Structure 1
Amino acid sequence: MGKLRGIVAKVFFFALLGLLILSFALWGVGDIFRGQQEPDNVAEVGEREISSNAYRQAFMEAYNRQRQMLGEDFSIEMARQIGLDRQVLEQLIADQLLLQHANRMGMVVTEEQIRQVLVSTPAFQDSEGQFDRARFQQLLRSNQMSEQQLINSLRQDIPVNQITAALAAPLQVPDALSEQIRQYREERRIAEYLVIPRSSVEGVETPDEATLRSFYEEHQDTFMAPEYRRVSYIHLSPDDVRDSVGISEERLREEYEARRKELSVPEERQVEQGLFDSREEAQAAYEDIRNGGDFTEVIEDTSGEAPIELGFVRQGDLPESLAENVFSLEEGGVTEPLESSFGWHVIRVNEIQEGEEPSFEAAREQIRNELVEYEAVEATVSLANELDDLLASGAPLEEAAQEMNLELQTIEAIDSEGRNREGQQIEGLPDREHFLSETFSLSEGQESLLIETSEGDSYFVLQVDAVEEPAPRPFEEVRSEVRELWEREQREAQANETAEDILSRAKNGKSLAAIAEEEDLTLRQTEPLLRSAEEPSRELVSQMFGMETDEAAISQGPRGPIIARLTEIVPADAPTGNESAQSELQNELEQSLRNDLETMFRHGLESEYQVTIHEDRLERATPAF
């Protein structure tokens, strides 16, 4: 229900019209953007539907936001693995529940409420914070929305926000409860413990053939080979045609003449400036400099600020009101006062780097490489179109490759991670992630469409020739792995037996220190541990907070079983008066209570308005790559 919180500010606190319009789209208000809704809705909420198009648009917007934060490697498959598709659907359902509940409650919106929303929206205001009707109309036009459509949307939007505002109202957590929770969290525990390292167990007998084969049969799931697929594919890339591209000398010279200005390096000047509020101040500074005053000292004395270093600039980098004068000076020259939107400028040219126009011979190789690259891409696109037409006419992949003299590449066995039977990554796959997604989404004998790679300059089409289902790897192939696992389990079993024996002796009154000396083990003691501690093991820490002083227990750790005795329970310290910490805990508890309230409210709405999710349509609506 935490997703309901994001609705609160959709009307009253948004900064951009785009966010406002997005909220309307997500609530399904009208057909402002979507036009006619698709019949294949992914969910029904009471009397309303969530269309595939609305869901797909919301998913892609959420995915693109995540990708901006996590980087280009964040794929749609990763998004689905972390549940982004479900989060988006839950948000859409929550929005629809609130909208219908507001309608059923008969909540109405007055003209004054609508007016207040419009005049208080920053996107509709001028620089002084006043409602600007011209700006309002311009933004509506740019978003292809009429004023009446916006008002109609607000009539349904405002009641929903009134509900969410009520849910977001401040909650007060009793001080006694807050203090009790603080004591619970800050209580610590100390234990002494022994570790029986699995690696230290000796005397494991060598298993015979029958034992290993029996173990293999019992643990076949551990030694499964993944699903493999035999794949044939054609990859069209500029790399394959680049060497065959020829560029005539005549075309090189024509390109040089057409791009002479673009290839030239323009003149650059290193400049610094004094910036003034008035012409009189700038003129006074200019006169002092012209009469022999030091530029830096005069600027500082006159403006109160050191000169501003602009570094090397080109004429186009400067405002028009400055550029011509600055680039007409000699090196060391100073401009008369010049005005721009920033104020009045006095500018000095410290250094001039002359522009340069490269000769044809100097630019020839660069031009040739760029033309070759362009022609290679064009040739690839042309081949792709031809191949696509041929495949669309029904030609099999192998026949199309032969007819167009293209290489049909074959991968004998590839798993879903792109590995071969030896577990090695198969290199050279076109658009690896997309290629694997297509390979494992098709049935045996099925052929993909011609797909453009994410780089946008190459294409591939593939066919799944055969599917080899997951199966146990032959015993002979995994014999060493079977033996290794058998021996590991034997060592683990012996370590656990030793640990159980030690625990029994400890419970009968023997100290862990004495047992450690007898067994040649190291007795350790924990630091005072909070409930959130991870060491010596998470399992042990969890057990410690359910034990009494001097009680012993056994748990598993990363190196082997752990036998521990709780030696001390350390109560939470007395309140320190740290207002910041107390406020942080109070806010956390209030937020938790608010989340619980929202969850109960959501469950109540779901019981009142039936929610139906069409899983098959949802799967189709979610982008596959």
Structure 2
Amino acid sequence: MLMDIREKIRGWLAYVIVGLISIPFALWGVGEYLGGGKEQPVAVVDGNEITARELDQAFSDRRQQLIAQSNRQITAEMIEQMGLKRQVLDQMINERLLVTFVREQGYVVPDQLVAATIRDISAFQTNGQFDREVYQRRLAQQGMTVDQFESDVRRDLLFNTLDNALVGSAFVTDPEVQQLVALRDQSRRLGLMRIDRDAVADAIDPADEATLRAYYEEHEADFQRPEQVRLSYVEITPETLAAEQEISEAALQSAYEDFKAREAGEAVRKARHILIQVPGDADAETIESARERLENARQAIADGEASFEDKAAELSDDASTSDRGGDLGRVEEGDISESFYQAVADLEEGAVSEPVRTRFGWHLIQVYEVGEAEVAPLEAVRDDLLADLRRDQAESAYYDAAETLASTSYEQPDSLVPAAEALSLSVETSDWISREKGKGIGQYPAVRAAAFDEAVVGERFNSELIELDNSHAVVVRVEAHRDAEARPFEAVRDEVAAQWRAETLETTLAERADALQEALAKGSDPAALAEESAAASWLAPAWYERRDAGEDMPAAALTAGFALTPPGEGEIATASTTLKGGDKAVVALMGVKAGQPAELDAETRSQLARQLQNNQANRLIEAFMRSLRAESEVEIREDALDD
């Protein structure tokens, strides 16, 4: 909720520099619980300290934001690889510098502007009007006081004032727009020599025994059984904790009342659709043709020439519904794409939509029934509600459980049993894992790194708490260890043969590509070169723009072609690349044409100018921050940062 609030009061400067780091969300990282209350600074900015506690809180907030915004799982390893903690610290330093700067410059935000900004935030409104009770309740839910939030709003409005001053100083000239268009809309004349991976592989004769033995001796380290450990571990997630959560009848009844209120307020919509599938890489003509087919069908339905069901049976590419008039039954949010659901939600009963685009293609939609939802009785939804309540309660209990697991396993380092018993969990056992790979809990790089730490593998102590994800942590200990051991040739012969063949194939493909590049550079006829090789095929040169990737000219080849330096008159430039699926390709560049700014319409020209202005504003902001840091005393204490 508060993320939406912040969007109301942030501009370019805040977005680039401050980065949404200052709101204390309810979910803090485990590091905050394990910090032991120490206030050791991780950085000092002009004499003002940034403590480890403050950094942990801001880091946790930023991590939560990333997880909420991402459409894929964000793991602890990914967070570490991004260097997120260092980024957050830099943002906090920048924020301190900005606060000092705006105060020294005498920037002031009137109370009336702060109040007006807060009143305009929809999360604090009831029926379009500011509601003080809702305002106070929502802030309390986030662990904030009114004074804290209003101070944040005032500060962000100050930043916006500075932001506007910097962005307003950015300007773009017409020659800059023309230069962008010339580059953006550039077209290149490209030919493509494709080397078929399977054909090359089929031509490689199997290695004889002497070759394999020689390869084994040269790469003996590749075929060792690596050093391995077997682990015992205690793992906590909201799922593992959920079974232990006790839910009162009062809480269940309250959840059911909320469920009834939600269900009763929702209209049930049943819909039909006609789908014309469009491939993801379809050209503009194909896309427009599919849309026009549905427009024609819509007109025929409107004119009474055919029913929606008849057109669905005739046209729809959805085999699962076309034989029943395109009937999808009840359509709810999340069933299909957002654009499809929004069209259904906007239609009156009996109405037919305009063509709607989704990743599947174009749809024509008819809502044939709008009714009230039937609210299921408590007994019918009891199990689902209990599961939701247990999961929510387990998520709230997760950080306390993580603290218990960390402290108990540290205080009693020779066993995981006390920690498991304290949490009513079991001690699990892994399969053998190495430093490079493992299954189950061993699939996580952080677990493997901890398992081979000297204190864990050498002293056989419990590991520290390992955070694997936002709500997923584990403590491990080594139960068994075995050193690396050479395996005889006879035991790994098949592995040796497979690795020799894979390496030989890659080498052969690279050699073929190098030879073709050399021949093309010397002026050899590419079609003749392709005819001489059973594994090669030649795509005759054609003009391509950056967005013209397709089956004939794959994206990897197009990217390689546009990365080439334009050749001289009568010459060609070449590059090799690997295509999706493993085929090797040699791209030949034979000409370049710049984009034509004169062909731009006024709206597009204006959009490009704004894009360039935004980019220039970002550069000004970055330069401004470098200037502030250069004029200030900033000390980062690496030892405290790594704790």
Task: Classify the TM-score, shorter chain.
Answer: 0.5 to 0.7
Q: Is the 8 A contact 2:23 2:61 kept in 1?
A: no
Whether 1:108 and 2:101 are equivalent positions in the alignment is no
What pairs with 1:181-330 in structure 2 (closer than 5 Å)?
181-201=180-200, 204=204, 206-207=206-207, 211-212=211-212, 215-216=215-216, 228-233=228-233
* Whole-Å separation in 2 of the counterparts to 1:12 and 1:399: 52
Q: Is the CA contact (8 Å cut-off) linking 2:456 and 2:477 kept in structure 1?
A: no
Tell me the amino acid that sits aligned with residue 619 of structure 1: D
SS at match of 1:575: helix
Which of 118, 121, 132 matches 1:122?
118
* Paired residues for 1:439-518 under 5 Å: 443-444=456-457, 445-448=460-463, 462-466=476-480, 478-518=492-532
Partner of 1:587: 610
Question: In 2, Cα distance between the equivalents of 1:446 and 1:194?
Answer: 58
Contact 1:190–1:528 (CA<8 Å) still a contact in 2? yes
Distance 1:497 1:455 in 2: 46
Residue 556 of structure 1 pairs with residue 555 of structure 2: no
What corresponds to 1:80 in structure 2?
80
CA distance in 2, matches of 1:72, 1:120: 37
SS of the residue 2:477 aligns to: strand
Check the 8 A contact 2:567/2:589 in 1, yes or no.
Answer: no
Alignment-mate amino acid for residue 618 of structure 1: L
Q: Which residue of 2 aligns with 1:522?
A: 537
TM superposition shift of 1:150 = 6.6
Residues 24 and 61, structure 2, Cα contact 8 Å, conserved in 1: no
Q: Residues 471 and 114 from structure 1, CA distance in 2 versus in 1: closer, same or farther, beyond 3 angstroms?
A: farther
Give the C-alpha shift of residue 563 in structure 1. Answer: 4.1
The structural deviation recorded for 1:483 is 2.8
Looking at structure 2, the residues matched to 611 and 196 of structure 1 have their Cα atoms a distance apart, in angstroms, of 55
Conserved 8 A contact 1:190-1:525: no
In structure 1, how many angstroms separate the alpha carbons of the residues matched to 2:405 and 2:154?
Answer: 54
Structure 1 residues 542-574: Cα deviation after superposition (integer angstroms, max 9, x where no partner): 226456554253523334554454344334245
State the Cα distance separating 1:167 from its structure 2 match: 1.6
Q: In structure 2, how many angstroms separate the alpha carbons of the residues matched to 1:599 and 1:385?
A: 39
Aligned equivalents of 1:155 and 1:483: distance in 2? 68
Paired residues of 1:188 and 1:530 also in contact (CA < 8 A):
yes
Distance 1:585 1:395 in 2: 61
Cα 1:469–1:537 change in 2 (3 A) is farther
Following the alignment from structure 2 to structure 1, what is the Cα–Cα distance between the partners of residues 206 and 137?
Answer: 83
Q: Distance in 2 between matches of 1:119 and 1:216?
A: 75
Question: Which residue type is aligned with residue 94 of structure 2?
Answer: A
- Please name the residue that 2:174 is paired with: 175
Query: Which runs of 5 or more residues in structure 1 are unaligned?
Result: 1-5, 26-35, 241-254, 273-349, 420-424, 621-625
Q: CA deviation at 1:188?
A: 0.7
C-alpha distance in 2 between matches for 1:115 and 1:208 = 85
How far apart are residue 144 of structure 1 and its match? 4.3
Root-mean-square deviation over aligned CA pairs: 6.4
1:404-458 per-residue CA deviation (whole Å, 9 max, x = no partner) reads 9998654352357873xxxxx34xx6999997797577722112589999999x9
Contact 2:114 2:154 (C-alpha < 8 Å) held by counterparts: no
1:569 to 577, 586, 592: 592
Give the TM-score, by structure 2 length.
Answer: 0.55
Contact kept, 8 Å, 2:188 with 2:593, in 1: the verdict is yes
Equivalence for 2:41: 41
TM-score by length of 1: 0.57
Contact 2:456 2:463 in 1 (8 A): no
In structure 2, relative to structure 1, the CA distance for the partners of 1:563 and 1:260 (3 Å cut) is closer
Change over 3 Å in CA distance of 1:566–1:535 after alignment to 2: same
Secondary structure of the corresponding residue to residue 515 of structure 1 = helix
Q: Could you say which residue in structure 1 is the equivalent of 2:640?
A: 617
Give 1:65 shift.
Answer: 2.1
Q: Secondary structure at the match of 2:544?
A: coil
Matched positions, count? 481
- Alignment of 1:397 with 2:406, yes or no, is no
Counterpart residue identity of residue 415, structure 2 = L
CA contact (8 A) 2:204 2:505 kept: yes
Change in Cα spacing, 1:100 to 1:472, as seen in structure 2 (3 Å) is farther
CA contact (8 A) 1:228 1:470 kept: yes
CA deviations 1:161-220 (Å, max 9, x no partner) are 543332222522111121122012211112233223343336645545564455456557
The Cα of 1:589 is off from its aligned counterpart by: 0.9
Distance 1:454 1:107 in 2: 43
Distance change >3 Å, CA 191–CA 550, structure 1 → 2: farther
> Which residue pairs with 1:3 in the alignment?
none
Q: Matched residue of 1:463: which SS?
A: strand
TM-superposition CA deviations, 1:355-387 (whole Å, max 9, x none): 9999xxx9xx99xx99xx9xxx9xxx9xx9999
Cα distance, 1:223–1:46 mapped onto 2, change above 3 Å: farther
> 1:397 is paired with a residue of what secondary structure?
coil
For the residue of structure 1 that corresponds to 2:616, the secondary structure is helix
Which residue identity is paired with 1:414? Answer: I
Distance 1:588 1:9, change over 3 A: same
Contact 1:109 1:155 in 2 (8 A): no
**Structure exhibiting the larger radius of gyration computed from Cα positions:** 1
Whether the 8 Å CA contact 1:44–1:50 is kept in 2: the answer is yes
Hey, what's the Cα distance between the residues in 1 that align with 2:192 and 2:467?
Answer: 60
Contact 2:13 2:160 in 1 (8 A): no
Q: CA deviation at 1:262?
A: 12
Match of 1:591, SS state, is helix
CA deviation after TM superposition for structure 1 residue 526, in Å: 5.0
Q: Which residue of 2 aligns with 1:338?
A: none
Q: Deviations over 1:299-343 (max 9, x none)?
A: xxxxxxxxxxxxxxxxxxxxxxxxxxxxxxxxxxxxxxxxxxxxx
